[in-house]
Amino acid sequence: MFKFIKKDKEEKSIILKSPIVGRCFDMSEMPDEMFSKKLLGDGVGFESTDGILYAPVDGEILQVFPTKHALILRTEEGIEILLHIGIDTLQMKGEGFEAFTEKGKQVKVGDKLLTFDNELIKAKVKSNLSVLIVTNNNLIESIDIKLGTVDKDNEILKIRLKK
């Protein structure tokens, strides 16, 4: 007689490293309700000390906004990540931003994606605080977050995918 043994599928997860050198904090601290209330998805906030945005994970660039203040990255598992620099930075029309990537490009964790002028942002708009948001939460079982002082080599998110 045969006996069937049920085995759970191995947990599938993705690790994201910090896209910013500086401070990582809970998104509820963001001075904009769109982010603080997680209306676009779950994630974390950042305060940059060096004005550089790095790739938090390997993936494909889906979009670089024309104003270079934000971009969307998709992992091979299909997780889409919005990286957005500052609050109301769209109004700056690209001033103080430089992109080092483009739509369709494959990037590796740690690659430099954008640079931005922190002081100019502080002078011109509401805030220089930034966010990393997972926009397709329907694929996510849970997210573990590490907060505090970070650099681009620190793991900050563990995303567990739905089975």
Catalytic residues: 84
Query: 137: which 2 tokens?
Result: 């939460």
What would the DSSP string read from start to end of 72-83? EEE-TT--EEEE
Query: How many whole angstroms separate alpha carbon 35 and alpha carbon 136?
Result: 15
Query: How many whole angstroms separate alpha carbon 97 and alpha carbon 112?
Result: 13
Using only C-alpha atoms, the chain has a radius of gyration, in whole angstroms, of 17
